[in-house]
Structure 1
Amino acid sequence: MRKLFSIVFFLIYSVNLTAQIKIELETYRDPNQIDIIRDKWGVPHIFGKTDADVAYGLAWAHAEDDFETIQLSLMAGNGMLARYKGREGAQVDYIVRLLRIPELVEDRYERDLSADFKKVLQGYCEGLNAYAEKHNNEVLLKNLFPVTPKAMIRYSVLQLCILSGADKALSSIFGGTVPLLENFKTQGSNAFAFNSKKTTDGNTYLAINAHQPLEGPVAFYEAHLNSEEGWNILGANFPGAPSILHGVNEHLGWAHTVNEPDKLDVYQLEMHPKNKNQYLFDGNWETLEVKETRIPVKFKLMTLSAIRDLHWSKYGPTIITKRGTFSIRMPAQMDIRGLEQWYRFNKAKNFTEFKAALEMRAIPGYNIVYADKYDTIYYISNGRIPVRPKGYNWKSTLPGNTSKTLWNELHPISALPQVLQPSSGFVYNTNHSPFHSTEGKENPVITDSTMGYETLENNRSKRWEALVQPLNKVSYEDFKRIKFDRQFPSTFYFPYNIDSLFLLDETTYPDIADLIVQLKNWDKKGDATNIGAGTFFMVYHDIVPKRSVFMKQGFIGLEDAVGILRSTKATMLQQFNRTNLQLGEVQKLVRGNVALPLPGLPDLLAPMYSIPYKDGMYKGNQGDAYIELVKFTKDGPIIESVNVYGASARKDSPHYTDQMQMYIDQKTKPMTLNKATVYQQAVKKYHPL
C-alpha cells in the first residue's frame, strides 16, 4: 500500500493550521432566537423556532465541546484527511475517491433529499461555520470551511460504507496491507424493550445501550433538541450528525445495535491476457473505467500530491493487485439518505410514522429495538440487503464475468427478520442472532440464506436470557439490574471454546497453580475488586494476539492453555511483581489526569475492552458507553442516562470527567424533555454567537 501513495509530484506551499480565516457565511436565521441551555452536567438542551434553528444550535454546542473531532470526521468524508494527518489520512482519502462518494452525492443531492431536511443540513452548516469564524484559532484545516450540506452527506456515506464492511473488503483484497478504519467503525451494543405484558407496573421500558469507542468519531454525544416544529428528542449522535441517532422523544424511542447480514460482495474479474484494463462479462470484453486522482498529502510544512489511478467495472470500485483484479459492490454506496432517515425517526409520533421512515431503506444496517408510549415494542434486523440468485456462495469471492451475479434489487423491509408485539412481552438484541430476538415461536425464521444473517449466540445473549427467563414479570429495578449486569453466563459463549483454561489440575502444574486456582474460584463477575476477574483479564490479553489460531481450530487446547497461563504469569510478575491482581488494578478508566479502577470485561452485558496504557496497565477504549434508560408512563417518558466521561471533550471543561465516577458506579442522572423544567434547572443559558 505504501507504493500506492508514492510521491510523484510536488505542490509546495506553507501550511499554517492556525491561520486566521474569514468564512463567507450564507445565513438565513437569527442566532439570538436560538437558546442553548446547559444543565448541571453540561448537556446541551437546544431550543429554536424551526428545526433548522435547532440544527444550528446543535452544531454550535457540539463544536464547543468537541470541534476537533467534528473537523476530523468531515475531513475524512471529504477526502481531505491527508492534508492534515499525512500518510495516515491518505488511506481514507483513497477510499473516498475509490468509492466515488463525491460523484454519488453530487448526482443525487438535489433529487433525493427532501426540501425540509436540506434546511436542517443548511442550519447545521451555518452553525458550524459561524463557530469556525468566531474561533478561527481552533480551525485545523482552513480549506475545510465553509462546510456545506453536501460535505456532511459525503461523510455520512463514508460512515455507512464502512459499516457495510468496505474497509475489511479492501484490506482483504490488498492482502491485509490496508489499515482498517477502526476509529470510524461502530461496534457492539445492547438493546431491549419490555411492554405491559412483562412489566410489573404496566409501563413500557426501553434500554438504549451503545458499546462504542469511548472517544473519537463514533463516540456518542448527548443532546436534547426542541423546536416549535414538533422536534423534541433526547439522545445521542456522532460528531457531524445534524440529529439524534438513537434516543427518545415524547412518543417513542429506539436503540441500535450492530448487525452482520451480508451487505457487500467481492468479485474477481476475468481479465484479458493481453490488456490489463479489459475483463470478460457475458462473453464480451468490457473496458474498465479509469480515472486519475491526486491526493494532497501533508509532509512537514509542505503538501505533496500522490497520484493514483481509480478503476471501476460494471460491479463497482475495482482494485488491480498481483493476486488478481477485484471489484466490490454494496448497497450502502448507492444511497445518500441515511441521515434523513434518522431525522424522520426523530420526528415520528407513533409506530406507523416510524415504520414509514424505516421504509426509506436508506440505512444499510443496524438492528433496531423500538418502544413507544402506546405499549408497542418492535425489533428488526434492518439492512439494505441485495436480492441474490441461488447457486452461488455469496460469503466467498464471486465470479465477476457474468450478469447473473450482478444484483440490482434490494429486499423489502417486510422480508427482513422482525418481531412486532410478541406475546412474551419483550424483544432484545446483543449483536447475536436476529432469529432469537424474543421467545418461542414468535422468533423470526430464516427465509433466504443469501441474506447472510448471523446465527451466533454470545455471552451477553445467553446471560440476558438467563436473567429474564425466571422472571414472570419484570420490575423497573429488574430492568436496570439486567442492564448493569457484570457476570458471564454459567457456560462461556466465546467464538472459540476456552474451557481448557478452567480444567487444568493445579497439582500437575505447580508453577502456575496460583493462576489455575484463581480461575477455578472465580465467580465469573467483572467487578473492579475481583481477583479472578483480574486474572482472566490478563489471560484474555495474552490470548488476543493468538486468537486467529484458536478461531481456526475452534478451541484452546490443554497445551495451549498451559502456555497461555505461563506467559500470563510471567507478564504479571514482570509488570506487577505478583499474581493476585484485582481487575481495577490493571484496567483503568482514563481521561486527562484522572485514572479510576475500571470494572467490566469483554462480552459482559456491561462490557469493557481495553488497550495498553502504562506500567503494565490497560485503559478502557470501547465498551459500555452511552446509556439511556426510558420508562414510558401515562405522564410521559421518564428518562435517565449516563455517558462514560462527560459532556465535553475539552480538557479545561468541568464536564470533561464529571460523569466518570457515576459511570463506574453504574449510577445515572435524571433527564427530561420538558422545556419548562429544563429552563428552571438551567445552569447556563446563552445564544450561539
Structure 2
Amino acid sequence: MRFWILFAFVLFQATTVVSQDVNPSTIDIVRDKWGVPHIYAKTDAAVAYGLAWANSEDDFKTIQQGFLAGKAMLGSYSGKSGATVDYIVQLLQCRKIVEERYEKDIAPDYKRVLEGYAAGINAYAKAYPKEVFLKKIFPVTPKDMLTYSVLQLAISSGADKALREITSGTIPLATQFASGGSNAYAFNSKMTEDGNVYLAINSHQPLEGPVAWYEAHLASEEGWNILGALFPGAPSILHGCNENLGWAHTVNYPDKLDVYQLELNPQNKTQYKFDGQWEQLKTTRIKLRVKIAGLKIGVKKNIWESNYGPTLVTDKGAFAIRTGALMEIRALEQWYRMNKAKNFSEFKMALSMLAIPGYNIVYADRYDTIFHISNGKIPIRNQRYEWKNTLPGNTSETLWREFHSLG
C-alpha cells in the first residue's frame, strides 16, 4: 500500500519559500509499503530538500552525528571518543580545504542542490527541536556537508588507520591491505538467456550507523530520476540506477595514502629538513570540547603541518600523511553528475572529474554497455621509491603533486 505525505509545516506560512529553487509546499514524499521514500519535486534543489526531510524522519540521530563530526563538535556530545574525531577533523584540515575551494570548485547548479538539502535539514530541526542533540549544530550549511564528506573519504582512503599506527608507534614498513569487500557484477545481452542487461549490487555494509545504506527514489522535472542508496546525510544517490543506466560500488585497495617520516633538527624539534634546508613546522593551537560527567571541559592541543600535509609529532619522531582525498571537495558533486548521466559517455565524463578517491565501479546500461574500473585518485609517484613503505620526508622527490588521469 502506498501513501502520500505532503509537506504541511506548522513552522512555515503557506507563502514561505526557502530559497529561489525550493518551495516546501510543492514537494511530495511517497512512501511505499516498505517505507522507502519516493521524492518528487520540480527542481533538483527541492528534491534534495525532500530527501533531507525524509532521511531525517528515519534517522535524524545518525545525520546529526555526522555533522557534529564535520563541525569538530562530537566531543561535546559523546565525550572522549568524539573529541578524538574532532582532533582528527582539525588535524586533517577538512574545513580549510572546503573554505579554500568552495566558491571556485563547486558548480552553481550543485550549490543549489546543497543549499536545498541544508534547508531541509534545518527545517526538520526547527520543526522537531526535541530531537536536536546540540543547538549549535544548526543551521547546517553546504560547507558543513562538504567538510563531513572530505572527512569520510579521507577515512576511507586510510587516514584514520595511518594516524592510529603513528600515534601507537606501530607504523609499519609496508601496508598490507585486506581482501574483504562487497560484490557486484554486470552482464550484457550476449551473456543472458532472455537478452536483457543485468546489474547486481551486493554491497556489504552495516545495518545502522554512518555507513549504513539508506534507500530512496529521487525524481525532479530537471532530469534527476534515480533509485538507489546513500549514506545518512548524503544529498544524492551513491549507487543505484536511473532509467538509462546503473552502477555499483565495491571497496578497492589502491595505494591512496602515503606516510612520511620527517628528519627533525636535533637543535630545534619544530624544524625539519627539506631539500637540504630547515623548514619550520606550522603549529596551530586548537581547543577541543569534551563532555565528561555531564560537563563540557575545554582541552587545548597542538596540530602540526609540514610540506607533505597533516603531521603528527610523537616519541618516535614526526610523521606526515598525504592523500588525494584531502585535496578535493567535489566528490558529492561527481556522484550527482553520475546520478544524472543518460549514457556511458556522460557517465565517463562524470568519472573524469576524479573527485571520488577510490572504489570499484561496475556499470551497465540499457544500450548494452557494461564497464568496470578500479577507480582512484592516484598520485603520479617517483618510481625510485618503494611507496608502500614509510617514505623519507626530507626531499621533494617524494612530494607528489599530480594525479593520473582517467585514461
TM-score interval (norm. to shorter)? over 0.9
- Residue 355 (structure 1) aligned to one of 348, 361, 364: 348
Indicate whether 1:89 and 2:82 are aligned: yes
| Counterpart check, 1:336 vs 2:322 | no
Distance in 2 of aligned mates of 1:134 and 1:38: 20
Q: Where in structure 2 are there 5+ consecutive unaligned residues?
A: 1-10, 172-179
Task: Please identify, of 299-308 and 230-239, the stretch whose mean Cα deviation from structure 2 is larger.
Answer: 299-308
Shift of 1:368: 0.1
Contact 2:18 2:24 in 1 (8 A): no
Confirm or deny that 1:253 pairs with 2:240: no
Number of aligned residue pairs: give it: 384
CA distance in 2, matches of 1:177, 1:48: 52
Deviations 1:138-180 (A, max 9, x none): 00111001110000000000000001000010011112699xx
Judged with a 3 Å threshold, the aligned counterparts in structure 2 of structure 1 residues 83 and 117 are, in CA distance, closer, same or farther, namely same
Q: Is 1:42 matched up with 2:32?
A: no
Secondary structure of 1:213 counterpart: coil
1:214 and 1:306 map into 2 onto residues whose CA distance is 34
Correspondent of 2:406 among 407, 413, 421: 413
Q: Residue in 2 aligned with 1:162? A: 155
Q: Distance in 1 between matches of 2:181 and 2:147?
A: 24
The answer to whether structure 1 residue 33 and structure 2 residue 29 are counterparts is no
Give the structure with the higher percent strand.
2
| Correspondence 1:105 to 2:98 | yes
Q: Partner of 1:287 in structure 2?
A: 280
Superposed displacement of residue 199, structure 1: 0.7
Structure 2 residue 65 is the aligned partner of structure 1 residue 56: no
Shift of the alpha carbon at 1:301? 2.9
Q: Which residue of 2 aligns with 1:117?
A: 110
Structure 1 runs of 4+ with >4 Å offset: none
Sort the Cα spacing of 1:382 and 1:205 in 2 relative to 1 into closer, same or farther, 3 A.
same
Q: Secondary structure at the match of 1:27?
A: coil
Structure 1 residue 230 and structure 2 residue 223: aligned? yes
Matches within 5 A, 1:199-598: 199-414=192-407
How much does 1:188 deviate?
1.9
Identity %: 64
The 8 Å contact of residues 240 and 246 in structure 2, kept in 1 or not, is answered as yes
Distance in structure 2 (CA, Å) of the matches to 1:149 and 1:281 = 37
| Shift of residue 56, structure 1, vs aligned partner | 0.3
Q: Which runs of 5+ in 1 are unaligned?
A: 1-21, 179-186, 415-689
- Separation of aligned partners in 1, 2:181 and 2:142: 29
Kept in 1, the 8 Å contact 2:98–2:147? The answer is yes
1:197 paired to 2:201: no
Separation (CA, whole Å) in 2 of partners of 1:349 and 1:72: 35
Question: Which range moved further: 169-178 or 72-81?
Answer: 169-178
Instruction: Quote the Cα distance in structure 1 between the aligned partners of 2:113 and 2:365.
Output: 25
8 Å Cα contact 1:26/1:126 also seen in 2: no
Deviation at 1:300, TM superposition (A): 2.6
Q: Is residue 150–residue 329 contact of structure 2 (8 Å, CA) maintained in 1?
A: yes
Instruction: Give CA-to-partner distance per residue, 1:41-75, whole Å, 9 cap, x none.
Output: 11100000000000000000000000000000111
Instruction: Check conservation: 2:312, 2:320, Cα contact below 8 A.
Output: yes
Q: Measure how far apart 1:222 and its partner are.
A: 0.3
Letter aligned with residue 50 of structure 2: G
Change (3 A) 1:145 1:177: farther
* Kept after mapping to 2: 8 A contact 1:212/1:218: yes
- Contact 1:77–1:96 under 8 Å retained in 2: yes
Instruction: Report the 3-state secondary structure (helix = DSSP H, G, I; strand = E; otherwise coil) of the residue aligned with 1:174.
Output: helix
Letter in 1 for 2:246: G
Matching of residue 127 in structure 1 with residue 142 in structure 2: no
**Structure 2 contact 75–290 (Cα < 8 Å) conserved:** yes
Report the alpha carbon displacement of residue 230 of structure 1 after superposing the two structures with TM.
0.5
Paired residue secondary structure (2:190): coil
Give 1:264's aligned amino acid: L
Q: Could you say if the C-alpha distance between residues 76 and 177 of structure 1 is closer, same or farther in structure 2, counting changes exceeding 3 Å? A: farther
One-letter identity of the residue aligned with 1:164: S
Whether contact under 8 Å (1:188, 1:212) holds in the other structure is no
SS at match of 2:39: strand
SS at structure 1 position matched to 2:133: coil
Q: Contact conserved, 1:44 with 1:223, CA < 8 A, in 2?
A: yes
CA distance in structure 2 between the aligned counterparts of 1:137 and 1:177, rounded to whole angstroms: 44
- Alignment RMSD: 1.5
The question of whether the paired residues in 1 share the 8 Å contact of 2:17 and 2:24 is answered with no
CA distance in 1, matches of 2:258, 2:17: 42
Measure the CA separation in 1 of the matches of 2:55 and 2:387: 41
* Rg larger for: 1
